Copies of this chain bind each other. A is one copy, B any other.
Amino acid sequence: MAKVIAGVGTSHIPAIGAAVDHNKTQEAYWKPVFEGMEPAKKWIEETKPDVCIVVFNDHASAFSLEATSTFAIGVAPEFQPADEGYGPRKVPVVKGSPELAWHITESLIMDEFDMTIVNEMPVDHGLTVPLSIMYGQPEEWPCEVIPLCVNVIQYPQPTGNRCFNLGKAIRKAVESYPKDTKVAIFGTGGLSHQLQGERAGLINAEYDEQWLDDLVAAPEKIKHTSHTEYLRETGSEGIEAIMWLIMRGALDEDVKQVYRFTHCPVSNTHYGLLVLENQDE
Residue contact A106 to B156, C-beta cutoff 8 Å: yes
Closest to A118 in B: B67
A104 to chain B, nearest CB (A): 12
- The answer to whether A66 and B120 touch across the interface, beta carbons within 8 angstroms, is yes
Whether a CB of chain B sits under 8 angstroms from the CB of A71 is yes
Task: Determine if A112 is an interface residue (Cβ-Cβ < 8 Å).
Answer: yes
Point out the residue from B114, B154, B155 that lies within 8 Å of A113, measured CB to CB: B114
A109 within 8 A of B: yes
Q: Which residue of B lies closest to A76 (CB)?
A: B66
Q: How far is the CA of A120 from the CA of B65 in the complex (A)?
A: 9
* A88 to B: closest C-beta gap in Å: 19
- A-side residues, CB < 8 A to B, are 65-72, 106, 109-110, 112-121, 154-159, 161-162
Please measure, in the bound complex, the distance between the C-alpha atom of A36 and the C-alpha atom of B113, giving whole angstroms.
Answer: 38
**Contact: A114 with B70, CB < 8 Å?**
yes
CA distance A72 to B68 in the complex (A): 9
Contact B70–A109 (Cβ < 8 Å) = yes
Please state the number of chain copies in the assembly: 2
Q: Chain B nearest CB: distance from A57 CB in Å?
A: 14
A156–B109 Cα gap in the complex (Å)? 7
Specify the chain B residue showing the minimal Cβ separation from A63.
B67
Residue pair B65, A110 in contact (C-beta under 8 Å): no
Contacts of A158 in B (CB 8 A): 109, 112, 114
Identify the 8 closest CB pairs spanning chains A and B, nearest first: A114-B114, A66-B120, A70-B114, A69-B116, A112-B162, A68-B117, A109-B156, A67-B118
Q: Which residues of B contact A67 (CB under 8 A)?
A: 67, 69, 72, 116-121
* CA–CA, A240 and B66, complex, Å: 25
Residues of B within 8 A of A156 (CB): 106, 109-110
Chain B residue contacts of A69, Cβ below 8 A: 67, 69, 114, 116
Expressed in whole angstroms, the Cα–Cα distance for A154 and B106 within the complex equals 10
The answer for the CA separation of A94 and B130 in the assembled complex, in Å, is 43
